[in-house]
Structure 1
Amino acid sequence: MTLSLPTLPCACVCVCVRAEEEDVELAANAMALLVRIAKEASLRYAIQLITTASLAAQRRGVEEVGVEDIKRVYSLFLDVRRSCDYLEQHEAEYMFHDSTQASKDSVALQLGRGGMAVDVDAPAPEAEDDDDGDVAMSDSDEE
């Protein structure tokens, strides 16, 4: 079971703490942009941009991460929503393209819009007893 807690009210604090832990200096406007990204995309995605933005700033020869660094890495690395949108827009260009609504629903379900990937068509794993009397989960194809 997964417990999901809303983190938006403390997004600013989380971004500040992560930047401090990564030894990254953020300009005030870059911090504000990361907080906005955390609210619109996800906190995890915004936090992952900190390190890559720091590398972009180092490449420019500056120590402080600015808005231009955040924008640069934001354009290079997609969040889940933008990735799903891209796949939906370009689905005809991929192999095994199926234009039915069921395939669109399957892609949305598999990508989970931020959740875990789920293959709804795959057979469910079967429970097996091992020598200890414990129940182990395995795929029916494995031996």
Structure 2
Amino acid sequence: MTTQTQTLRTVAGIINSVETLEGAGFLVRRPFPKSSFSEFDPFLLDELGPVNQKPGQAKGAPDHPHRGFEIVSYVLDGRLEHKDSVGHAGLLNPSDVQWMTAGAGVVHSEMPEAEFTRTGGRLHGIQLWVNLQYGSVKPKK
């Protein structure tokens, strides 16, 4: 029987997020861009909301590209419709998780579901972006 040794690590630092509007105007909290951006690789994190949307107010992210990332989305509140340029589509409800690999590139959209837009409600989710090119190939310019 072998014994594994555990090494305790300490937090290197805390970086506060910046609130910004993304896509068609929805609130995102993002810890970048910052001068310490290189310390995030290979992981980045977005927080979508939380925001309470009035009826007809919900906005999303229309078609936009991603390349070189694995994006893991987790919906806490609200409902989002996902569509991408390779034919995938689906509805994300609270507690749903979606993985999207955008290795060579994909165009996708994340929009509030029609009924959620009509009625309003709380929208909240997180996205973890994993850099697929970390430590090997530098991103193309």
Q: TM-score, normalised on structure 2? A: 0.23
Bigger fraction of residues in strand? 2
Bigger fraction of residues in helix? 1
- Is the radius of gyration larger for structure 1 or structure 2? 1
Higher relative contact order (CA 8 A, sep 6+): 2
